[in-house]
Structure 1
Amino acid sequence: MGKVGSKNLSTSLLHCTLWKSDPSPACRAVMMGLDAMNISVSEVDINMDQAEHRTPDLIALNPQQTLPILKDRELILCDSHAINTYIASRYCEDEKFLPSDPAGRAIVDQLLHYDGGILYPHYRACAYPILYESCRFVMPQQIKDVEYAYYELETMLKGRPWFSGSHMTLGDIAIMATVSTLNVLVPVDKDKYPVLLSWMYRMSKEPFYTTGNLKGLNEFTKRIG
């Protein structure tokens, strides 16, 4: 996960294994979440370009053939949002990333659903033709869709420092993983979305951004270029 030497992780879950690919924003959401919560797990790097995620062993773990995959003893989770909330609920004592009160938890869940249901499909629509279909640019309709998502995010942030309210949560982390990747494909306009850009800047200064997101984001940027 990026600069290992910069980490100061207090909890090692040796019974947990994470299969990941650093260029994937979903994997980076989990990596940032783990680092933010000061938790480490055993990691296995998977080269998706060489179809390593389609080996019989990994298909047995996840028939959807996607990453990340987390295995905690007999439990297998294959969704980044589920992985982060599970780790937070079971192993993180600090409730700021995933509040235990129903209202706070609902806000985080709402943000995670927005990321999974709106932002991540935009990422796939923009990136997959370039990554896998020899397309050289983002199509106009995809640009329009992403720009509208930026408008929604700008509006959601008005009057609050974080998407979750007064402090950062797993919702902010999930959105940052996807938006920082979308920004490579459809740059966030500083004049149209100053609040969103300010939030992105503050997120980029968090230590977990360097350890969990930056390396994979740079790899993705090189691959797109």
Structure 2
Amino acid sequence: MGSSASKISETGLKHCTLWKADRSPACRAVMMALDSMNLSITEVDINMDKGEHRTQEMINLNPLQTLPVFKDRELVISDSHAICSYLASRYCDSGRLLPKDPGGRSIVDQHMHYNSSTIYPRFRAAAYPILYEHCNFVMPQQILEIECIYSDLECMLFKRTWFGGSWATLSDIVFASTISTLNILVPVDKNKYPRLSSWLYRISEELYFITANRKGLSEFSRRIDCSTSLDDTDEFKCPRSSCSRRGLQLKEPSPEATCKPVTQD
């Protein structure tokens, strides 16, 4: 199991707040970024089925009425990629998640742009009709488009263990949140995409994936299966710190890994 988050001391940022919904891949990307850096901030769960993201308070923070929303003192950011970059730039000195050299940084930026411009829109096109329009399946054209994404990512991983290079970066974190969710809708075929399948298995073993991504994946899967709203459990309704959320998740039984590793030539 990956243990990168446990190798650095906990940093509490009491002046920072994250409004989020666990089933959202975008929110889980920010949560994984927080956990990978062992940052603890105030987290507030928002029930989108009850329209809590459309309250006047949330509109004042983010007129687009989307999640996540992040606030650091007077600074408000409402795009998950921008939040991840800000956290890594502002609160992580190592340069591992977001390289400091322009070349390495541009690669990570390139991947995040691909996630926001291509992967996430295709996720929404496939998932939203099931979540909100009582559709019971992913349309054939959307399956083809998702398979094209898998093919692109398979090529990106040629002679690479991680998307950013020799270790996991923000590239892997933002891809992990979206691809692990797409995998529920259109499973990654390990025979067609062996590198992507192996990468998904490796990232699913990272501690920050376990603490920040697994619960939301399970919630999304249940929501897709029943196509009706699910009330949040009481233990996750109150604002809490990232540290307390991590502790709760580590107490949960570990589900089976997302994908089984495959042997590559």
- TM-score (structure 2 length as normaliser): 0.81
Checking the alignment, whether the CA contact within 8 Å between 2:28 and 2:213 is kept in structure 1 is yes
* Aligned-pair Cα RMSD in Å: 1.2
| 2:143 corresponding residue in structure 1 | 143
Whether 1:85 aligns to 2:85 is: yes
1:116-195 → structure 2 map (5 Å cutoff): 116-195=116-195
Structure 2 vs 1, CA of residues 215 and 83 (structure 1 numbering), >3 Å: closer, same or farther?
same
- Tell me the residue number matched to 1:51: 51
Q: Which residue of 2 aligns with 1:34?
A: 34
Q: What letter corresponds to residue 34 of structure 1 in structure 2?
A: L
2-side partners of 1:164 and 1:177: how far apart?
16
Q: Is the 8 A contact 1:176 1:203 kept in 2?
A: yes
Residues 8 and 218 (structure 1), Cα distance of their counterparts in 2 relative to 1, 3 Å cut: farther
Partner of 2:94 in structure 1? Answer: 94
Per-residue displacement from partner, 1:3-58 (whole Å, max 9, x unpaired)? xxx99861111000000000000000000010001111100000001110000000
1:212 aligned residue: 212
**1:13-28 pair list within 5 angstroms:** 13-28=13-28
Secondary structure in 2 matching 1:18:
strand
Any idea what SS the aligned residue of 1:164 has? Answer: coil
- 2:186 is the counterpart of 1:197: no
Distance 1:189 1:78 in 2: 33
1:100-115 equivalences under 5 Å are 100-115=100-115
| Distance of 2:98 and 2:148 partners within structure 1 | 28
Deviation by residue 1:86-111 (Cα, 9 ceiling, x = unmatched): 01101112210001110010000001
Q: What residue identity is the alignment partner of 2:114?
A: Y
Aligned match of 1:3: none
**SS class of match (1:82):** helix
Q: What displacement does 1:166 show?
A: 1.3
Residues 62 and 112 (structure 1 numbering): CA distance in 2 closer, same or farther, change over 3 Å? same
Q: Which runs of 5+ in 2 are unaligned?
A: 1-5, 226-265
Q: Distance in 2 between matches of 1:41 and 1:192?
A: 40
Distance 1:41 1:93 in 2: 18
Q: Residues 26 and 68 of structure 2 are in contact (CA less than 8 Å); yes or no, is this contact kept in structure 1?
A: yes
- Preserved contact between residue 8 and residue 37 of structure 2 (Cα < 8 Å): no
Distance in 2 (CA, whole Å) between partners of 1:153 and 1:79 is 22
Give the structure 1 partner of residue 262 of structure 2: none
Counterparts of 2:171 and 2:79 in 1: how far apart (Å)? 14
Distance 2:118 2:8 in 1: 33
Q: Distance in 2 between matches of 1:38 and 1:94?
A: 13
8 Å contact kept, 1:108–1:169: yes
SS at match of 2:87: helix
Q: Distance in 1 between matches of 2:174 and 2:107?
A: 13
Partner of 2:228: none
**Tell me, what secondary structure is at the counterpart of 1:63?**
coil
Q: Which digits, 9 at most, give the CA deviation of each residue in 1:194-217, with x for residues without a partner?
A: 110000000000000010100011
Q: Contact between 1:9 and 1:35, CA under 8 Å: does it hold in 2?
A: no
Partners of 1:213 and 1:220 lie apart in 2 by: 11
